Structure 1
Amino acid sequence: MSHPPSRPTSPATSPPAGPPSGEDGPPGLDPEALRAHLEREAPGLVRGPLTAELIEGGRSNLTYAVTDGVGRWVVRRPPLGHVLATAHDMRREHRVISALHPTAVPVPEPLLLCEDESVIGSPFYVMEFVEGTPFRTAEQLTALGPERTRRVVLGLADTLVQLHAVDPAAAGLADFGRPEGFLERQLRRWGKQLEASRDRELPGIDALHAALGEALPHSPAATVVHGDFRLDNVLTGADDSVRAVLDWEMSTLGDPLTDLGLLVMYSEQEAVPGSPISTTRGAPGHPDPAEIVERYAAGSGRDVSALPWYTAFAYFKLAVILEGIHYRYTLGQTVGAGFDRIGALVPLFIDNGLTTLQEG
């Protein structure tokens, strides 16, 4: 099966023009230039001419499947026309999967990092191709049947336990982030993001932001945080196990319950027409969010009593992301179908966030 990254949290806007592709390659990747570099830096890895295919559906960084007809690999690079290197840091992604690969956390094996932009027009890294399926819809899980669906979803919670059990210092990631004040910075960051794309009244969003600030929980010991942990950001194998966790571009050191809160938020979403948020909630056998939380708590030993705050924060972040997309749509900066419906979804996430926080 293919090795796609996750469906995006939001539909992608059309990228600015970037470096040209090779004669037989997709935009942003020249297979011949890549092959020449691999032959120099990893002799024997590639056995013939390369063909490459852009894998659709990634969050922002571009992902390509590459083959020489015998072996298969995956290449990750920043989006075309990227400006802020810190937002699409290939070294950072490569570093975290390199650190996690020897641990129990299933990640693709990293093979090579290239920071020389002259090769394909940007930094990039190469990793192994992992067979698996990123489940994005209830229909996909329904085809597995209730027992397998339950096993797949609970396996996701088990994998999160494995990730949060990694000792950052022992893995060489002690300086991978700034855990002190993590939640305050996150709340401030997303508040600024909201102001940057705010051009209409959004009833309740200021109340949600303020309530989150007033009820800020005390964070447990910092762990490696994925930042966007959900079912369609992992590859599930034929045996229903998690074969690989993908899309580490938002990873850092921080509060592990932010990962769990986001997973709960995604897990309790019902399908909403026009929503860009993938959901598997309606599949028979899908565990309730409470069971996912219980599974994580039992496996990790962490106190999850403050989880409603983290879930409400996840709703706030998604509301801000969707409002940003709506704002770009009003400026004519989006291309594709469905953007006209995004704005109507934002109040749903605000209301869900407020309800979650109040009921918690």
Structure 2
Amino acid sequence: MSTELPGLDLERLSIHLGSGPLTGELIPGGRSNLTYRVGDGRERWVLRRPPLGHVLATAHDMAREHRVISALAGTAVPVPEALLLCEDPEVIGAPFYLMREAPGQALREREQCPWLTPEHAAGLSRRLVDVLVDLHAVDPGEVGLADFGRPEGFLARQVDRWGRQLEASRSRDIPGVDRLRRVLADTVPVSRRASVVHGDYRLDNVLVTEDPPGGVSAVLDWEMATLGDPLADLGLMCVYWGGLGLDDDPITGSVPAMPGFASTEEVVARYAERSGADVSGLGWYTAFGCFKLAVIVEGIHYRYRGGQTVGAGFDRIGELTGPLVRRGLAEAGAGRPWSAGEQS
């Protein structure tokens, strides 16, 4: 049985599950909620729990994650099989849920996927967009999620919420971030429709299979899912997809730059074609995606400095806030609609 595993008491978990001795390991790459692979020698599961400290209000809600993946299980959206929700913090020190391990891996670096040919990369690009379109096509009422969020006023509340999250994590001066926050608040667009939104949709939040190459077996990390404007998902995906122009970007990774992957404008064009959505105002959503990600990065940086998070790659995470804010200001100040024929 593993003994040195911050955030997961395997002995108490095995008692709670009524299983034999468990082994466990931290799954690297997650920068907010903690994810572990656990097994009893016969079966393997994945466990999700909040970070070790500085948990922001309304964030890291295990019950919400468990509820949304359970609701989507019968739809076209690939999700892991949810097995157990435990809201009692006495078991492992925090609420958690357990799901069955799905095949594939979250692709963050090109060294993970030498098998991904340009043809497979092109197919994966299309599949990622199509899964997002499928998610946004789900009728929340039909899957028991009619009360999962409040779509009316969603965008204004999001700007306010992430502004308050910023204040809760602010530990240093961040040039431009308050200006970006004001610009977003002053120019909130009118949402044309509402849907289930993932809240952090990107390549490394899905599991990609090697057989078949470039298949998507599951969408992960639903901690920010709610009901709202679907273009918020697309705008944030564009931030991740286009990157920040850094040689070593610990968030976006290097995979979407591999030969065969679609460009940002091709991603947006496919989404518009498959969904029928009007993407002419996507610039605001991309700017908001930059702001939201900058706040998330600051929260991670705050926890890292306080020794309250585990895993590799956190020592440089705070360096991303500045470039994110600068890109957000550029997107917000473009003064023209963003179209599928322009680079984001």
The TM-score normalised by the length of structure 1 is 0.81
What SS does structure 2 have at the residue aligned with 1:277? coil
Report if the CA contact (8 A) 1:63-1:74 is conserved. yes
Q: Which residue does 2:139 correspond to in 1? A: 167
Report if the CA contact (8 A) 2:301-2:318 is conserved. yes
1:154 aligns with 2:126: yes
Consecutive unaligned residues in structure 1, runs of 5 or more: 1-21, 40-45
Report if the CA contact (8 A) 2:54-2:308 is conserved. no
Matches within 5 A, 1:114-153: 114-140=86-112, 143-153=115-125
Q: Which residue does 1:296 correspond to in 2? A: 271
Equivalenced residues, count: 331
Deviation at 1:188, TM superposition (A): 1.5
- Residue 308 to residue 134, structure 1, CA distance change in 2 (3 Å): same
Q: Which residue does 2:341 correspond to in 1? A: none
Cα distance in 2, alignment partners of residues 353 and 184 from structure 1: 17
Cα distance in 2, alignment partners of residues 182 and 318 from structure 1: 17
- Residue 232 to residue 23, structure 1, CA distance change in 2 (3 Å): closer
What SS does structure 2 have at the residue aligned with 1:95? helix
What value does the CA root-mean-square deviation take over the aligned residues? 2.9
- Residue 122 to residue 338, structure 1, CA distance change in 2 (3 Å): closer
What SS does structure 2 have at the residue aligned with 1:131? coil
* 1:27 aligned partner, one-letter code: P
Matches within 5 A, 1:203-222: 204-222=176-194
Q: Which residue does 2:30 correspond to in 1? A: 58
Deviation at 1:342, TM superposition (A): 5.2
Q: Which residue does 1:28 correspond to in 2? A: 7
Deviation at 1:331, TM superposition (A): 8.2
Deviation at 1:181, TM superposition (A): 0.7
Report if the CA contact (8 A) 2:244-2:324 is conserved. no
Cα distance in 2, alignment partners of residues 247 and 308 from structure 1: 25
- Residue 355 to residue 79, structure 1, CA distance change in 2 (3 Å): closer
- Residue 258 to residue 35, structure 1, CA distance change in 2 (3 Å): same
Q: Which residue does 2:80 correspond to in 1? A: 108
Q: Which of 43, 49, 60 pairs up with 1:71?
A: 43
Report if the CA contact (8 A) 2:83-2:100 is conserved. yes
Report if the CA contact (8 A) 2:180-2:291 is conserved. yes
Q: Which residue does 1:256 correspond to in 2? A: 230
Q: Which residue does 2:291 correspond to in 1? A: 316
Range 152-161 or range 185-194, more displaced: 185-194
Deviation at 1:287, TM superposition (A): 0.3
Identity %, equivalent residues: 59
Q: Which residue does 1:191 correspond to in 2? A: 163
Q: Deviations over 1:140-197 (max 9, x none)?
A: 4564121111111221111101111111111101111111111101112223334451
What SS does structure 2 have at the residue aligned with 1:169? helix
- Residue 300 to residue 200, structure 1, CA distance change in 2 (3 Å): same
Cα distance in 2, alignment partners of residues 337 and 323 from structure 1: 16
What SS does structure 2 have at the residue aligned with 1:133? coil
Cα distance in 1, alignment partners of residues 317 and 121 from structure 2: 29
Report if the CA contact (8 A) 2:196-2:227 is conserved. yes
- Residue 326 to residue 51, structure 1, CA distance change in 2 (3 Å): closer
- Residue 288 to residue 215, structure 1, CA distance change in 2 (3 Å): same
- Residue 30 to residue 255, structure 1, CA distance change in 2 (3 Å): same
Q: Deviations over 1:235-269 (max 9, x none)?
A: 01121221001111111111111100011111111
The TM-score normalised by the length of structure 2 is 0.85
Q: Which of 350, 357, 360 pairs up with 2:325?
A: 350
Q: Which residue does 1:281 correspond to in 2? A: 256
Q: Deviations over 1:180-222 (max 9, x none)?
A: 11110111222333445164361x4344333323332111221
Q: Which residue does 1:10 correspond to in 2? A: none
Q: Which residue does 1:42 correspond to in 2? A: none
Report if the CA contact (8 A) 1:49-1:68 is conserved. yes
Q: Which of 221, 231, 246 pairs up with 1:247?
A: 221
Deviation at 1:353, TM superposition (A): 1.9
Consecutive unaligned residues in structure 2, runs of 5 or more: 338-344
What SS does structure 1 have at the residue aligned with 2:59? helix
Report if the CA contact (8 A) 1:89-1:249 is conserved. yes
Cα distance in 2, alignment partners of residues 61 and 322 from structure 1: 13
Report if the CA contact (8 A) 1:177-1:252 is conserved. yes
Q: Which residue does 2:340 correspond to in 1? A: none
